[in-house]
A and B are shown apart, each in its own frame.
Chain A
């Protein structure tokens, strides 16, 4: 809060204010993308991922960015058209920052074919575009009247579940590229898997109600069992679906039997649940 006071407020709706928003978006993109930009499995995914799945993921990510913009993008919006503009700008910020950082690291160079460039940048621009979209909420503040609209918009049940999906997708995406995910799922015994499901549910429930949703859902008002059924169970379902989608996109599910895919989804379900639970804090 102390930061808000010291930031110089430019008049809203001007080029200056927008430039400030863009600068914040770049900062957010770097914070969210750097850990993955420095992960070599992510560089490799850029050329061995199935192109059709990457294409679909880029499109899904764009739709999610438009949705996120509704609930608090880097610039307050009124119309869906503005959300599309902001999502495009956030994607642009993600692509530019991924391209620049990967070139600085020497991961991208001129000897590479065009499809390798495109693959590496496309996959790495996803966390950056998330960061760019969330930067406004995290790093700055804006017009209070529009922000109230954002807050109102993001209170419905569907909106809560959408935010859970976004949070789960982001964390699952961050964890899934590394080999460790598969190693953990091979190491676990069935008992471990069951315990991990229980722990994920417990954490999700505890985080959503004691930390995440900041008093919006009073468990005493709704009853702990009812809130468990309304938010925690669907939330875990979303976390598992998101995990399966990420596993499929990264080709982790190929040639694996149902038991192997399930245990990988359960392992990935833990970070996805935590992402789903805290999404409300971040967005």
Chain B
């Protein structure tokens, strides 16, 4: 006992500080993950919205920059986004796929068109995804 007492008296202040920081970080992580687990986030399917953020001239054509936003809690893998530009000639179809769009997250991308999308009708939508 005497040995133990002597030893705990020697526990340096820094050890308490380091353990305290560790404890608060660990509890913080467990809190966020535990909340996510209780909320049952991934049970709602991914809900992906695509919105144009900017249209600009690029090289010989035009680029449409967009943001794909997953409003649900679960992640979507291999998300296929398609843009169709119609009006003023044959419709132009462009597509791009994202590796992942995590829940409640945004990913940006761009599609190239030869005509100015501001002159025609542009439709952007998500086609599908894989469950990770």
* Partner-B contacts on A (CB < 8 A): 13-15, 17-19, 22, 44, 47-48, 50-52, 54-55, 58-59, 62, 75, 78-79, 81-82, 84-86, 88-93, 95-96, 111-119, 121-122, 125, 251
Q: A95-B22, A116-B102 are in contact. Are A15 and B29 (CB under 8 A)?
A: no
List, sorted by A's number, 11 A–B pairs whose CB atoms are closer than 8 Å: A15-B12, A48-B75, A54-B33, A88-B26, A89-B22, A91-B25, A92-B25, A113-B105, A118-B28, A121-B29, A122-B33
- A112 in contact with B100 (CB, 8 Å): no
**Please, how many angstroms separate the alpha-carbon atoms of A44 and B132 in the complex?**
9
A78 touches B30 (CB 8 A): no
| Assembled-state Cα–Cα distance A111/B74 (Å) | 17
- A79 and B8 in contact, given A113-B103, A118-B33 (Cβ under 8 angstroms): yes
> Within 8 Å CB of A51, what residues of B?
33-34, 36-37, 41-42
- Contact among B3, B19, B26, B36 for A85, CB-based, below 8 A: B19
Q: How many A-B pairs fall under 8 Å by CB?
A: 132
- Which 5 pairs, one residue from A and one from B, show the smallest C-beta to C-beta distance? A92-B22, A118-B32, A88-B22, A13-B10, A51-B37
Specify which of A15, A17, A79, A92 lies most central, judged by the most chain B CB atoms within 10 Å of its CB: A92
Q: Are A115 and B42 neighbours in the complex by a CB distance under 8 Å?
A: no
- Is the Cβ of B8 less than 8 Å from the Cβ of A58? no
Contact with A along B77-107 (1 / 0, CB 8 A): 1000000000000000000000110111110
Q: A78-B7, A115-B41 known; A59 and B13 CB under 8 Å?
A: no
- Given B19, B32, B77, B105, which contacts A88 in the complex, CB threshold below 8 Å? B19
Q: Does B18 contact A (CB under 8 A)?
A: yes
| Cβ-based interface call for B57 (8 A) | no
* A54 nearest CB neighbor, chain B only: B33
Give the shortest distance, in Å, between B128 (CB) and chain A (any CB): 17
Most buried by B among A93, A96, A116: A116
**B10, B21, B32, B75: residue with the most chain A Cβ atoms closer than 10 Å:** B32
The answer, yes or no, to whether B119 is at the interface (CB within 8 Å) is no
Q: Which residue of B lies closest to A22 (CB)?
A: B18
Across the interface, which residues of B come within 8 angstroms of A118, CB to CB? 28-29, 32-33, 36
Q: Is the CB of A47 within 8 A of B103?
A: yes
Q: Which of A54, A78, A92 contacts B21 (CB 8 A)?
A: A92
Q: How far is the CB of A120 from chain B (nearest CB, A)?
A: 10
For residue B8, which residues in chain A have a CB less than 8 angstroms away from its CB? 79, 81-82
**For residue A255, which residue of chain B has the nearest CB?**
B131
Q: Decide if B56 is an interface residue (CB 8 Å cutoff).
A: no
Shortest distance from the beta carbon of B1 to any chain A beta carbon, whole Å: 11
Residue pair A95, B12 in contact (C-beta under 8 Å): no
B105 touches A112 (CB 8 A): yes
Chain A positions within 8 Å of B7 at CB level? 13, 78-79
> Is the beta-carbon distance between B29 and A95 smaller than 8 angstroms?
yes
